[in-house]
A and B are shown apart, each in its own frame.
Chain A
Amino acid sequence: ETGVTQTPRHLVMGMTNKKSLKCEQHLGHNAMYWYKQSAKKPLELMFVYSLEERVENNSVPSRFSPECPNSSHLFLHLHTLQPEDSALYLCASSQDDRGETQYFGPGTRLLVL
């Protein structure tokens, strides 16, 4: 595997379900990110981890819970989501300590029914 991988690629869940998105980077980077892309809107940064510590949390509802067990893996735990949370969730990583150039995974397309 190379670059940034994400699983699953597609996910359909009900509002009462609990699911997790997984991201793995094979680039030896120090920082990892979760972004949300909704239709007709720019990418929105959700969470940032640097060296496994959370450094940014952009006012994301608590029904989204990130976890970074090590510098190569990042999870996004989902519970009691709303239909408006349906979107493309993108993971990214960066080498530098400022996060200037970020490399993205293919994304998970999430549909909440």
Chain B
Amino acid sequence: DQQVKQNSPSLSVQEGRISILNCDYTNSMFDYFLWYKKYPAEGPTFLISISSIKDKNEDGRFTVFLNKSAKHLSLHIVPSQPGDSAVYFCAVWAGSYQLTFGKGTKLSVIP
């Protein structure tokens, strides 16, 4: 059973608008969450993370929000740029070197 779910396989957004990528997890004990970005023919690149003691973390155009009661996190990209087109993976740290990943959401930013 999947512990990390990204229910939208794909998302299209106009350049300059906000992109919102969503992720749900099942275990309320998880306490560290990450987003990775992956371009074709490259490995995943670490983007941003958040600890469960916070509900928001910002880095430039990227903001991650954590809703612990709903076991939900989201990644906001604003403004979206064509170079942001990639597959975005949500991951949770499950303890002892284990990162558990979602299946990814393919973001397409349309110029």
A residues engaging B (CB < 8 A)? 4, 6, 31, 33, 40-43, 45, 48, 50, 55-56, 90-92, 94, 98-107
Residues of chain B whose beta carbon lies under 8 Å from any beta carbon of chain A: 2, 4, 32, 34, 36, 41-46, 49, 89, 93, 95-104
Looking at the assembled complex, report how far the CB atom of B42 sits from the nearest CB atom of chain A, in whole angstroms: 5
A32 to chain B, nearest CB (A): 10
Known: A42-B89, A102-B99. 10 other contacts (CB 8 A): A40-B103, A42-B2, A56-B96, A56-B97, A92-B43, A100-B32, A101-B34, A104-B44, A105-B43, A107-B43
**Min distance, Cβ A107 to any Cβ of chain B, angstroms:** 5
Cβ contact within 8 Å between A104 and B97: no
Contacting residues, chain B, for A100 (C-beta < 8 A)? 32, 34, 49, 93, 99
Once A42-B102, A100-B32 are accepted as A-B contacts, the answer to whether A4 and B43 lie under 8 Å apart by CB is yes
**Inter-chain contact A98/B93, CB cutoff 8 Å:** yes
Q: Which single residue of chain A is at the shortest CB-CB distance from B45?
A: A104
23 A–B contacts, CB within 8 A, in A order:
A4-B43, A6-B43, A31-B97, A33-B97, A43-B89, A43-B99, A45-B99, A55-B97, A56-B96, A90-B44, A98-B93, A98-B95, A99-B97, A99-B98, A99-B99, A100-B49, A100-B99, A102-B99, A104-B36, A104-B44, A106-B42, A106-B43, A107-B42
Docked Cα-Cα span, A50 to B99, in Å, equals 15
Q: CA A31 – CA B104 in complex, angstroms?
A: 25
Do A99 and B93 have beta carbons less than 8 Å apart? yes
Q: Which residue of A lies closest to B51 (CB)?
A: A100
Chain A residue at minimum C-beta to C-beta distance from B9: A40
Cβ–Cβ < 8 Å partners of B2 in chain A: 42
On whether the beta carbons of B103 and A42 are closer than 8 Å, the reply is yes
Q: In the complex, how many angstroms separate the beta carbon of A59 from the nearest chain B beta carbon?
A: 13
